[in-house]
Amino acid sequence: MLFNSVEFLLLFLPLTLVVYLRLSDARSALIWLSLASLCFYGYWNPIYLLLILTSVFFNFGLGKLIVSSEGRQKYWATAVGVAFNLGLLGYFKYANFFVNEVAYATGMDWSIDQIILPLAISFFTFQQIAYLVDGYQGKVEKHGIIEYVAFVTFFPQLIAGPIVHHRDMLPQFRSIERLRGLSGNLGIGLTIFAIGLFKKVAIADELALYANPVFDTALGGGTLSFAEAWGGALAYTFQLYFDFSGYSDMAIGLGQMFGLTLPINFASPYKARSIVEFWRLWHITLSNFLRDYLYIALGGNRKGDLARYRNLFVTMLLGGLWHGAGWNFVIWGGLHGFYLTVNHLWRALPFYKSISSGVTYSYASWGLTFLCVVIGWVFFRAESLDAALLMLTTMTGMAGIEVPGSVAAMMPEFLRDVVIAGPLFPNLRLGWEAAFGIMIIAGVIAFWAPNVFDLFHDRLGVEMNERVTYRPVRLTWQPSLSWALMAGVFISYCLLSLSEPSEFLYFQF
């Protein structure tokens, strides 16, 4: 069931919310919310309810054992729990990839049946690993099975994040306060949900019509022009941003409707002026997890700069592999590990502080950061290494530079003599002019517009977002007719556009 589907918007959400609001005590409401979340998860494939319930009850029981144990028993219980979770993730997500690569490398005729990746396994695995490790470190507060089930399965964040932490959610599930003042929460939540839905339907899905044919052509080894390659790369850059940012906004909005605060997962990452800043603003909950449970566990920066850069690179490499079982994701993660290493080395230079405060440096660093991110997304999106290299080769102009005829017509004559003019995507429903217009709108929103955290700063759990810097803006949410009309227009437009709702890109991870 998709957030942008008629079934969810007109049936599941209203029914779940109405029953939730009519229940008088917190425990009954929490049980209902957990049952509804399990129904939401089982809608895709009921058989995987056995998987998630097995994972939930195993980790809850083991967590209780870890908290009550001491010494080596505590250590081994934690190790068994982490191994169990990683084993499940490894089997379902990486078994086919591993067997195929070993067979290719050794020339052996090895193969296994295709394993279907269960939805959300990457997300609920990370949540529960953090829970067990924190239990080992004595950071888990007392809670019951109902709170734990709700923590893992809460449907707004279950499928594609944000990756919620037990310290943020379990106290909320235990508190009766979440059932008070819900009328105000509904207004806030519905507005944030409408913004996220509009990002997905009106921007991300439209850009997909432009990005997909370009990458499909590259995958098939077809010919792309310079303009096509850059247009496809930029279209995907903004498609992914508004698709995942839209989902994260919808998750936060849904949480608010139920009186629960989910952490901010995006804070205008394309405004970043360095790769370090980019990773503080993009998929914030994943960055926090990788920092707290992988980078620090590897040693962090405690053993000198060389070990620091090694740990950083390994963390990003594994972060890339978390996104999918493919060399393109490994390369993407390694590329960002390289970016971060270079960024830290640059900042360590003695003249860095003297040149980094100027306006020119600020714009140049923003442009370079965005360019590096776009290059990384080419590997992230391309379905093969050959397709990625074809895209990048064309984008560098090594295959020649060709621009659309409409653009060439506006050029001075001496420039027209050195370019080859031709039509761009004549067979697409979405033509070049429309795609270019949508990308301009997407760029304006991504580069300059306030984000949800800015607009709802005083209404959300600011203490849960320590890595996010608030940017004061005049336009902040108020319980007013204008905000209600905007939310109504966004939702109405999206409902009229949902003949064939598309999945969110991060569902595949």
pLDDT at 417: 46
Q: What residue ranges do the domains of the chain occupy? A: 25-180
pLDDT at 316: 93
Q: Spell out the residues 6+ positions from residue 435 whose beta carbon is closer than 8 angstroms to its own.
A: 207, 209, 210, 231, 235, 425
Nearest CA to 369 out of 470, 238, 276, 234 is that of 276
Q: What percent of the chain has pLDDT over 90?
A: 43
Residue 422 in this model has a pLDDT that exceeds 90: no
Give the pLDDT of residue 95: 85
Q: pLDDT tens digits, residue range 366-385?
A: 999 999 999 999 999 998 99
- Local confidence band at 500 (pLDDT 50, 70, 90 cut-offs): confident
Comparison of pLDDT for 493 and 468, the residue scoring more = 493
Taking the CA atoms of 394, 395, 401 and 404 in sequence, report the sign of the dihedral they define: positive
Tell me the C-alpha distance between 396 and 415, whole Å: 19
The whole-angstrom distance between residue 74's C-alpha and the CA centroid of its chain comes to 33
Residue 119 DSSP one-character state: T
Mean predicted lDDT score pLDDT of the chain: 85
Look at residues 53, 54, 55, 78 and name the one whose alpha carbon lies nearest to residue 65.
78
For residue 245, how far is the Cα from the chain centroid? 7
Alpha-carbon distance of 57 to 46, in angstroms, equals 17
- Among 143, 165, 323, 457, the active-site one is 323
How many residues would you count in the chain?
509
pLDDT score for 427: 38
pLDDT score at 156:
92
Residue closest to 182 by CA, chosen among 255, 87, 268:
255
Task: Tell me the C-alpha distance between 38 and 283, whole Å.
Answer: 25
Average pLDDT over residues 10-27: 88
Q: Give the list of residues 6+ apart from residue 323 with CB closer than 8 angstroms, or none.
A: 329, 332, 333, 380, 509
Q: How many angstroms separate the CA atoms of 264 and 465, rounded? A: 6
Q: In angstroms, what CA-CA distances link 424 with 216, 394, 430?
A: 15, 15, 11
By the 8 A CB rule, do 424 and 231 touch? yes
Q: What confidence score (pLDDT) does residue 397 get?
A: 77
pLDDT above 70: percentage of residues in the chain: 88
Q: Is 165 a catalytic residue?
A: no
Helix axes 182-198, 226-257, angle to 10 degrees: 170
CA distances (Å), origin 429, targets 171, 177, 207, 210, 425: 50, 50, 12, 9, 9
Evaluate if residue 401 carries a pLDDT over 80.
no
Can you tell me the mean pLDDT for 269-287?
92
Amino acid at 360: T
pLDDT band at 431 (very low <50, low <70, confident <90, very high): low
196: nearest Cα among 471, 453, 448, 478: 453
Per-residue confidence band for 421, with pLDDT thresholds at 50, 70 and 90 = very low
| 36-48 average pLDDT score | 91
Residue 299 has what DSSP assignment?
A: T
In a 3-state reduction of DSSP, which class is residue 114?
A: coil
Residue 175 confidence (pLDDT): 73
Q: What is the mean pLDDT of residues 198-209?
A: 91
How does DSSP assign 195-232, residue by residue? Answer: HHHHIIIIIIHHHHHHHHHHHHHHHTT----HHHHHHH
Long-range contacts at 31-38 (CB < 8 A, ≥ 24 apart): 31/146, 33/150, 33/154, 33/258, 34/146, 34/149, 34/150, 34/153, 36/12, 36/155, 37/150, 37/153, 37/154, 37/155, 37/158, 38/153
**Six-digit token string for 68:** 């009550």
Instruction: Please say if the pLDDT value at position 462 is more than 60.
Output: no
> What per-residue confidence (pLDDT) applies to 429?
35
Q: Which residues pair with 403 in a beta bridge?
A: 421
Per-residue tokens: 208: 């997909």
Residue 458 pLDDT class (50, 70, 90 cuts)? confident
Helices 26-42, 48-68: crossing angle, 10 deg rounding: 130
Report if pTM > 0.75. Answer: yes
Spatial CB neighbours of 489, under 8 Å, sequence gap ≥ 6: none
- When computed from its CA atoms, the radius of gyration of the chain, rounded to whole angstroms, is 24
Residue 209 CB burial class (10 angstroms; 0-12, 13-18, ≥19): middle
With cut-offs at 50, 70 and 90, classify the pLDDT of residue 396. Answer: confident
404 has which bridge partners? 422
292 has pLDDT over 80? yes
Per residue in 225-275, pLDDT (tens digit) is 887 888 899 999 999 999 999 999 999 999 999 988 898 888 899 999 999
Round to whole Å and give the CA distance between 179 and 22: 10
Distance CA 264, CA 286 (A): 11
For the segment 359-368, the average pLDDT, to the nearest whole number, is: 92
Amino acid making up residue 90: G
Q: Has residue 464 got a pLDDT over 70? A: no
Q: Check residue 180 and give its pLDDT.
A: 56
Q: What is the pLDDT of residue 479?
A: 79
Average pLDDT on 90-100 reads: 85
**CA torsion angle 455 461 464 465 (round to 10):** 10
> 449: how many CB neighbours lie within 10 A of its CB?
15
